[in-house]
Amino acid sequence: MQAVTKTTQATPKPAKSDHPSGDRRFKTLDMTMKRHQYKPDALIEVLHKAQESFGFLEEDVLTYIARGLKLPLSKVYGTATFYHLFSLKPNGAHTCVVCLGTACYVKGSNKVSAALEEELGIKLGETTADGKISLMAARCIGACGIAPAVVFDGTVAGKQEPEMALAKVKDWELE
Amino acid sequence: MDLTELLDVGEAHRAAQKATRVHCCTSTGCRAASAMEVFKNLKTAVQDAGLEAEVEVVGVGCMGFCGRGPLVQIDPQQALYEEVKPEEATSIIDTLQGGTTPALKGDLQHPFFARQVKIVRQHSGKVDPESIEDYISVGGYRSLYKAIYEMSPGEVVDEIIASGIRGRGGGGYPTGLKWATVAKMPGDQKYVICNGDEGDPGAFMDRSVLESDPHLVLEGMAIAGYAIGANHGFIYVRAEYPLAIQRLQKAIQQAKKYGLLGSQIFDSPFDFKVDIRIGAGAFVCGEETALIQSIQGGRGNPIPRPPYPAQSGLWQCPTLINNVETLANISTIIREGGAWYASIGTDKSKGTKIFALTGKIRNNGLIEVPMGITLREIVEEMGGGVPDGEVKAVQTGGPSGGCIPASLLDTPVDYDSLVAIGSMMGSGGMVVMDQDTNMVEVAQFYMEFCRGETCGKCVPCRTGTVQLYALLTKLLKRQATQADLAKLESLCHMVQETSLCGLGISAPNPILSTLRYFNEEYQELLQPPAYLNGKVGHGQVTVSQ
Amino acid sequence: MSVKTLKINGVDIAIEEGATVLQAARQAGVPIPTLCHLDGVHDVGACRLCLVEVSGTRKLLPACVTEVAEGMEVQTNTPKLQEYRRMTVELLFSEGNHVCSVCVANGNCELQDVAIQVGMDHSRFTYRFPDRAVDISHPQFGIDHNRCILCTRCVRVCDEIEGAHVWDVAQRGAACYIVSGLNQPWGEVDACTSCGKCVDACPTGAIFRKGSTTGEKERDRAKLDFLVTAREKHEWTR
């Protein structure tokens, strides 16, 4: 469900970090951990920050967080994989999240998702081979009043018919 | 800040307000229908018409009629416009000078609005959620002042007990009793948690409250903190609600600036700070022990109760966990008194409840109604019924609730009546289904949800939901036998009685309620017994020997 | 320390305050099946096999985490409990790939014991035949996820007794599995001290010593409790 939370990249400015790569994004993690006084309880907050800065949680990042918060590696991995929002693989350049909540379901969201799956040749939760589009499902985004809803790159679109969603995705494919 | 200063802030803000306020909804639902463009155009139109001196355009929270967004309401004229298009903004402003507009005019006398009793949503759609001054100008934070300076913590708890309010998250545990328990627990460190992990698909009441009136929730939390002796609160909000998070962050900052949160609130010895914790996509975290695990940075695995969070919760300290809607009632209860609140609703369910009325229904959106109203009044009068066809069932309580058949529409909506007919109040999702909805598929839909959301800790929920889903799929493929149906039912009871937390305990409800009220749909799916060799029908039944 | 008296299956029992129903039942010689409980580590109440009926409440309560109370009346073996326990074991068998005949723990397996105890001869539920991995990267031990029942005894023993926290649970729901380190092969996890406590803790043949074949797994479960008593009370009890 990360399409809903906007992915923002920190403005590029040189900053030293404790990570040997010198990647400034680790500095952002340092700051978040420091703000939480390196308490192990801050794990989810720090994972949120990492997901936001890196786009996904690679092994290197998880190890860095585990060291910073002095947590066992397995606990960090177990927590990161428990939550849908955290992704251990990179997402596509575009994300399309189909809401499969009850109201959307009753209004035919399964037809929308089926059409998208067919068009893209992938299943919900997968990314196209060219890394362009990730297709995801949400349990409910709370936009039931305008069901069925689809979130295209963080923007909610309501009352979606299969054709409308397909048109949007086809535009992406042409990019 | 003291009371005079608070009143001054409200007075000054009121004085600065223009005579005419054009309220434009800027919540998630309307935003998806280009409300932000409408908002911008309305502002430009006011400028172009040279009306800045007497007209202001205010971005407000949810007005409720989400199915007809974007909504614009002009006050004090009480003119409501629905499905407003950005290009209609100019003509809407023209109406203030005698012009006409093609914009769709709404009817505020329609039962959808007229039957509502607004306590939690009293300011929704009227105040700017991003302005604390707007909230203060309608009496905001007065109840917090009253609690701190005119009442003892015990008196605040007594008032909540007197109100008879029960938890709005679904279970319906008496809120006053919960407060009294935490208040009586020994220990210097206690916490208040606001549960905004609204995971039920088909429910968006809490999102709307947080987006429309965040200060109402913060004030409720601070009053709770004062009553139970806590100085720290957490709001746990789903990451799927970015706008709610953004507005809460802003609201907390504003309240801190005014000294209404943080140290020495209203210059009293009472300190209360609030932190936001963002969920990461796990329905089970709505369960209170799982939510606590999640705030502590771990997997959202529920733990056996007792000990209850009231005794040992966050970091083993006594912890009060209340739902968003529950906390949003507190300020009004303190202002108007518990007895006043108890006069609304039924004998055992007091006050009002917000429902997200969605699905196959003409008027969909959020409604706040007094407890005891019947489902029929909600669905037929307020909701305007099903667009084409008839109501077949109403689903309440989400994946934990059940499907109520049309024949029981006269059931009053209160905690106990809904449980008696095999459903539950839940957090307030109300999805209307018509003749096109296959009830076994609905049961399968919910089981698919529970199968994907079980944390995996206890055996019955982890593997039982998988087996229940498999049995439903077998049924829908017309491969199941009467024995499978019996197995389905007995497994439902087993999962219900043996699971560790509420998710597993209530997961079979959608199956059990559809088995009870729509049994014929299950029967129709049964495969003829194997010994018939598929030779059934046309009066020719051969039984092989 | 005060003493509580209660009845289990109609028999009077006196036990110190703060004890669990499971402890009381064991003291009285009443068998209650368990899988996730392990002496020496904290209880999680996850396997639901030890559920009992307590008069005054309609809810079934897990004996391992329910404290005794004065005048409590406990039933441990009603027809309903028997049926639910059997279903629980059937669910466990249908969930993994449990083939006793080729398992190191055959004849010395708690899952097998419980199945016999509850009278389970077949599963009414469809076997899922999940595709699960075997990790034999560790020089001395191996973990066969096919035989894992997710009791988390290994997780707790490694965290609470050895203190290494090599193991944890990854993913959620039916996709859950026991993970070592950052989802690394066990042999590559630096934190592992090769103490073998997880082998002793494992109720089935999921975690085993390399080189043991069918039915050869031996374990010393009492050692874990011995270590805890030695460390916490400075009493070396064997």
Between residues 294 and 333 of chain B, which touch chain C (CB distance below 8 Å)? 299, 303-304
| Residue B9 in domain | no
> Integer distance in angstroms from the first to the last C-alpha of chain C?
26
Nearest to C121 by CA among C150, C89, C153: C89
User: CATH number of the domain that C68 lies in?
Assistant: 3.10.20.740
Give CA–CA dist C81/C49, Å, rounded: 9
C100 and C133, same domain (yes or no): yes
CATH code of the domain in which B410 resides? 3.10.20.600
Between chain A and chain C, the number of residue pairs with CB atoms below 8 A apart is: 45
Q: Which of B299, B490, B498 sits opposite C169 (nearest CB)?
A: B299
Q: Are residues C109 and C160 in the same domain?
A: yes
Give the range of the structural domain holding residue C63, as residue numbers without chain letter. Answer: 3-76
* Interchain CB distance below 8 Å, B281 and A48: no
Partner-chain contact C173 B452, CB within 8 Å = yes
- Give me the interface pTM, i.e. the ipTM: 0.95
CA–CA separation, B150 and B266 (whole Å): 13
The β-bridge partners of B56 are: B21
Handedness of CA C191, C193, C197, C202 (dihedral sign): positive
Type of residue found at C237:
T
Q: Are A30 and A68 in contact (CB under 8 A)?
A: yes
Query: Do B150 and B106 have their domain in common?
Result: no
Residues of chain A contacting residue C189, judged by C-beta atoms under 8 Å apart: 73-74
**DSSP string covering B239-250:** TT-HHHHHHHHH
User: Does A74 lie at the interface with C, CB-CB under 8 angstroms?
Assistant: yes
Please name the residue that has the structure tokens 């733990």: B303
Q: C-chain residues within 8 Å CB-CB of B456?
A: 150, 169, 171-176
Of C26, C52, C76, the residue that ends a domain is C76
- Cα-flanking dihedrals φ and ψ of residue B56, to 5°? -130, 145
Q: What is the DSSP letter of B66?
A: G
Q: What angle do CA A47, A51, A54 make, to 5 degrees?
A: 125
Location of structure tokens 């092969």: C185
A102 — contact with chain B (CB < 8 Å)? yes
Residue B454, chain C, CB below 8 Å: the answer is yes
The count of structural domains within chain B is 4
Neighboring chain B residues of C150 at a CB cutoff of 8 Å = 456, 462
Range of the domain at B33: 18-113
- Contact assessment for residue A162 and residue A111, using Cβ atoms and an 8 Å cutoff: yes
Considering the domain boundaries, does residue C238 fall inside one? no
What is the separation of C-alpha B525 from the centre of its chain, rounded to a whole number of angstroms? 35
| A65 touching B (Cβ < 8 Å) | no
Cis peptide before B129 (omega within 30 of 0): no
The verdict on C168 and C69 lying in the same domain is: no
Same domain? For B168 and B281 the reply is: yes
How far apart, in whole angstroms, are the C-alpha atoms of residue A39 and residue B195?
Answer: 23
Looking at this protein, which amino acid is placed at residue B434? D
Looking at residue A174, what DSSP letter applies?
H
d(CA B299, CA B292): 10
pLDDT in tens, chain B (545 residues): 889 999 999 999 999 999 999 999 999 889 988 999 999 999 999 999 999 999 999 999 999 998 898 999 999 999 999 999 999 999 999 999 999 999 999 999 999 999 999 999 999 999 999 999 999 999 999 999 999 999 999 999 999 999 999 999 878 999 999 999 999 999 999 999 999 999 888 889 999 999 999 999 999 999 999 999 999 999 999 998 999 999 999 999 999 999 999 999 999 999 999 999 999 989 999 999 999 999 999 999 999 999 999 999 999 999 999 999 999 999 999 999 999 999 999 999 999 999 999 999 999 899 999 999 999 999 999 999 999 899 999 999 988 899 999 999 999 999 999 999 989 988 899 999 999 999 999 999 999 999 999 999 999 999 999 999 999 999 999 999 999 999 999 999 999 999 999 999 999 999 999 999 999 999 999 966 556 665 554 444 444 43
The phi, psi pair for B152, rounded to 5°, reads: -85, 160
- A106–B433: do the CB atoms touch at under 8 Å? yes
Considering C25, C41, C76, which residue would you say is the last residue of a domain?
C76
Distance CA B90, CA B78 (A): 18
Interface of B with C in 264-293 (CB under 8 A): 282
CA distance to partner chain A, nearest, from residue B431 (Å): 6
Contacts of B296 in chain A (CB under 8 A): 41
Do the domain assignments include residue B531? no
List the beta strands (DSSP E) in C185-233.
207-209
B1 in a structural domain = no
Assess whether B443 and B430 both reside in one domain. no
C165 touches chain A (CB under 8 A): yes
C139 and C48 housed in the same domain: no
CATH of the domain at B457: 1.20.1440.230
Residue that the structure tokens 């990161």 belong to: A80
Q: How many residues does chain B have?
A: 545
Q: 3-state DSSP call for residue B31? A: helix
